[in-house]
Amino acid sequence: MLVGHINEIVRHPIKSFEGEFVQKCKIMEYGLYGDRSHAYLDESAEDFLTITKFQEMVRYKARFVGEELLEEYPSVEVLTPEGKTFDWKDEELIKQIEEKSKRKISTIEYTPLHVPIGPIAVEQILLVTDASLYQLNQIWGKEKIDYRRFRPNLFIKLNEKSPFVEEEWIGKRIKIGSEVEIELVNHCKRCMIITVNPDNAERDPSLHKTLIKERKNNFGVYASVIKTGEINVGDEVVLLE
């Protein structure tokens, strides 16, 4: 059954930085090609540096520059909130992040053929629908919610605007385009990251409180990759029976 189309494809070359909007993307066994393949480590905590520790990470934009090979990733370019562009390992950029976050950081990166689950979250792909976003906005009753707050990989435009219908797909598979199949496996439980405005890094805890009260803190669904391939913006999304 045709349920909608891919409206946006978003991958995050650097964990917790703003995602890169692409017109097409390879789907690997671990998810979108290069998604959360690079990260900064908080050396004091021996863990990833994320928005939960340094909110302004949402204002840094990362993208791949160059040919996307299976042998190695292209260069990763970072645009800072101040409008400067750096290679992601540039000493000046790292020094800036360290000064702002008040943490000593190092870098870690994976390979195009293997990105472990850990840096991604708890599963391989996260999807959100337009109808659910609209309904949550109505429930919250404040300014228009930017879906970047939820950091999805796939933003789906539904044919029938049934809020939270994606939760009914858990345990089922969907086909995207002519090649890719994914299986919906679980709800996405939300954390404080959704309270951070992606434009200015300011927090509004009321969004998270609303989601906890009205939706048991669920928004979006996780999926596992069943069949790899390439997807494109505009591809049909078909629920398989």
For the chain, 241 residues long, give each residue's pLDDT as a single digit of tens: 999 999 999 999 999 999 999 999 999 999 999 999 999 999 988 899 999 999 999 999 999 999 999 999 999 999 999 999 999 999 999 999 999 999 999 999 999 998 876 545 667 899 999 999 999 999 999 989 999 999 999 999 999 999 999 999 999 999 999 999 999 999 999 999 999 999 999 999 999 999 999 999 999 999 999 999 999 999 999 999 8
Q: What is the pLDDT of residues 159-172, one digit of tens each?
A: 999 999 999 999 99
Give 48's strand partners: 41
Q: What is the pLDDT of residues 171-191, one digit of tens each?
A: 999 999 999 999 999 999 999
Query: pTM (2 decimals)?
Result: 0.94
Short-list 22, 20, 9, CA closest to 63 = 20
List, in order of start, the domains of the chain with CATH numbers: 2-240 (2.40.33.20)
How far is residue 153's CA from residue 136's CA, in Å, rounded to a whole number?
A: 19
One-letter amino acid at 226 equals I
Answer whether 49's CB lies under 8 Å from 38's CB: no
**CA 93 vs CA 15, 80, 81, 168: distances in Å:** 15, 8, 11, 43
Give 231's strand partners: 25
Q: Given the structure tokens 């090979």, which residue do they identify?
A: 69
